Structure 1
Amino acid sequence: MSASQIPPATAVPGDDVPTLLVKIFGKDRPGITAGLFDTLAAFDVDVVDIEQVVTRGRIVLCVLVTAPPGRGSGAAEGDLRATVHSWAESLRLQAEIISGRGDNRPRGVGRSHVTVLGHPLTAESTAAIAARITGTGGNIDRIFRLAKYPVTAVEFEVSGAGTEPLRTALATEAAALGVDVAVVASGLQRRAQRLVVMDVDSTLIQDEVIELFAAHAGCEAEVAKVTAQAMRGELDFEQSLHARVALLKGIDESVVDKVRAEVRLTPGARTLIRTLKRLGFQVGVVSGGFTQVTDDLKERLGLDFASANTLEVVDGKLTGRVVGEVVDREGKARLLRRFAAEAGVPLSQTVAIGDGANDLDMLNAAGLGVAFNAKPVVREAAHTAVNVPFLDTVLYLLGITRDEVEAAETHAD
């Protein structure tokens, strides 16, 4: 077809152009959407907008079309109404047709995705979130469910309010309600985030690795106390690391295999990684723990990147020292940048997940920083927080639905 033969694009209806909103309700079955458009096709109308939702087997189908063209358009509209109602009645559906002018009103400036996670998600908390969105000047343009398991996850598409003010307002509301709320700016970059880097201890795994080593050295309580202080930001991480590792001096190297066997993955960890990998993401870990464990996790889980501290071993015994550059708070952020460069991913398209104070620089450097069951100081500083014990819920913050997760699981090797 030559350029002269290409028909001109139909203009978006202006505010003065008559349009009809056709709404269909009833029991869902195959063929309803096709049947409605077959019915409308006889009237030479243009489709302006479509929205369809199926909930518990009930369909709500909304179609915005231009009014029938030509002379006697009022009669043509009457014929369209009668024909649509007759078609709907034949399928035991209900139809409503509303006359108006133009397209949907323009969405307000400032668009965000608000993801709400509840376990369960109550009507009271949903009402409070919706009210707070409205209170910030935002309008809820669309709501849909991302997942029903392991938590209920719903997403609000919001316009008319800035992302940062909305995030601040909803963080306060979420804390009071006991739900998790994530607010991210709308745009292509959301699904373009192609590198996820996470902490290991109490994030990817349920354990603190140094405490597992300490249990074999008989100093678990002493190490756990120092670890807790470091994660709360009360102690300098590097100093606390050296103090704790010193307590492991003399342990036989064979303990490494025992600790690897004792490590417990966080629920949802395998699903998170497998889904991300199937969707083309690269995944890495950075840890204030030890390469003796993270290298094993990298191999077992198929991770792309892994970096941690290394316990020194001499003559088959732990010396109580670490070798090489210490992976501390600043080191984690530095490694995130290095992984991003090696992956060819802009820093704005990275996601970081962690729970401790030594994760803060990494969380703030990433395009999206997620505090996972984190200490209060971390929850307050991160972009968003998840406080349910399922690591795969992070997927919903990226707009990945449970259906996509299950598809990835079905096709996983």
Structure 2
Amino acid sequence: MPSENISQFTGLILVSGQDRPGIMADLMTTLSEFSVKIIDVQQICIRGRLILAVLISLDQAHAEAIAIDLDHLQKKSGLDIAIDFAEYMTLREESDSLIVIIVGQEIKPLKLALIASEIAKMDGNIKQIRRSEYNSLESIELQLSIPNKLLKVVQQNLKEVALLNDIDLSVELGGSARQRKRIVLLDMDSTLIEQEVIDLLAEHAGQGSFVAEITKQAMNGEIDFKEALEKRVGALKDLDVSIFNKVRKEIKLAKGAQEMISKLHACGHLVGVVSGGFLDVIEPILQDLKIDFYR
């Protein structure tokens, strides 16, 4: 279906003040006296203060009467109420909007500024912002005016900003696509768990420093991955399998990992884990977490 432009006379009502029961009821009762249609409504409450926005379409001949009644409501309620009338052109499109989710223990304004600036460079607009918090982790979700078809472009551009500035984020499909069942794939080491399994095993083999140095060289590109893997695994030669149980007890799940997996399963998603091996160590942990598949 092609995009469709629709022009209509609208009123944008802004209400703010100390939150209390009955504000929405009073506002809607006032509007019910007129032939109006609610186009959109948004409300937030921060530190006990309400900010409510209602966009209505109306007969232009009723604008003055609605403004008078809202002024009466303002005086009666002690709220700040303003209305702005204008001819409004809506653009209806089938495309959904992308979602950017930023996660961290403390999301500072600078990180938000960097992400928002990059979105602006792509001619994107942030339509909605939501924040949530769990234990010491916080999340900020941005809904963009960028259609789903540009997912790969936005992912690549924001990935570069994120890597340069130590920002954890994801770019997801918006709209109805978010409700579909998905497969969520996680890395094991330093992601699902806080440590690297091979480092824990190396400590018990008395090779902790050696393995750490090989890992550093591989990360710096000084040796290739295959050579690094062979050297690190070779350092564990003759390690008694009884150590596996000890290492398993030392493993710590990343903060919120168990709760995240439970919520993903509750939404009908499948969860998989990719590891560097050592299934004898990690398999019982993955089974306890009810991971759907792993290798």
Flag whether TM exceeds 0.5 (same fold). yes
Counterpart position of 1:282:
270
- CA-to-aligned-CA distance 1:256-275 (integer Å, 9 cap, x gap): 21111122222222222222
- CA-to-aligned-CA distance 1:88-113 (integer Å, 9 cap, x gap): 33221111111112454557978422
Q: RMSD in angstroms over aligned alpha carbons? A: 3.1
Q: Which amino acid aligns with 1:14?
A: I
Counterpart position of 1:40:
31
Higher strand share: 2
**Residue number among 15, 36, 49 corresponding to 1:58 in the alignment:** 49
Counterpart position of 1:150:
136
Partner SS state of residue 236, structure 2: coil
Distance 1:28 1:197 in 2: 42
Distance 1:99 1:90 in 2: 22
Report whether the alignment pairs 1:138 with 2:105: no
- Whether the 8 Å CA contact 1:23–1:62 is kept in 2: the answer is yes
Counterpart position of 1:245:
233
* Pair 32,226 (structure 1): closer, same or farther in 2 beyond 3 Å: same
Counterpart position of 1:112:
98
* Pair 30,241 (structure 1): closer, same or farther in 2 beyond 3 Å: same
Counterpart position of 2:250:
262
- Residue 50 of structure 1: CA displacement? 1.5
* 1:388-403 to 2 correspondences below 5 Å: none
Counterpart position of 2:194:
206
* Pair 228,268 (structure 1): closer, same or farther in 2 beyond 3 Å: farther
* 1:72-91 to 2 correspondences below 5 Å: 74=61, 76-91=62-77
Partner SS state of residue 201, structure 1: helix
Counterpart position of 2:80:
94
Question: What TM-score, normalized to structure 1?
Answer: 0.61
Question: What TM-score, normalized to structure 2?
Answer: 0.82
Distance 1:88 1:230 in 2: 67
* Pair 236,129 (structure 1): closer, same or farther in 2 beyond 3 Å: closer
Report whether the alignment pairs 1:215 with 2:203: yes
- Whether the 8 Å CA contact 2:67–2:83 is kept in 1: the answer is yes
* 1:363-382 to 2 correspondences below 5 Å: none
* Pair 103,199 (structure 1): closer, same or farther in 2 beyond 3 Å: same
- CA-to-aligned-CA distance 1:320-376 (integer Å, 9 cap, x gap): xxxxxxxxxxxxxxxxxxxxxxxxxxxxxxxxxxxxxxxxxxxxxxxxxxxxxxxxx
* 1:335-346 to 2 correspondences below 5 Å: none
- Whether the 8 Å CA contact 1:226–1:240 is kept in 2: the answer is yes
Aligned residues: 290
Report whether the alignment pairs 1:31 with 2:17: no
Counterpart position of 1:365:
none
Residue range with higher mean Cα deviation, 109-118 or 51-60? 109-118
* Pair 199,125 (structure 1): closer, same or farther in 2 beyond 3 Å: closer
**Residue number among 6, 19, 38 corresponding to 1:14 in the alignment:** 6
Gaps of 5+ in 1: 1-11, 308-413
* Pair 173,304 (structure 1): closer, same or farther in 2 beyond 3 Å: closer
Q: Which amino acid aligns with 2:27?
A: L
* Pair 148,177 (structure 1): closer, same or farther in 2 beyond 3 Å: farther
Gaps of 5+ in 2: none
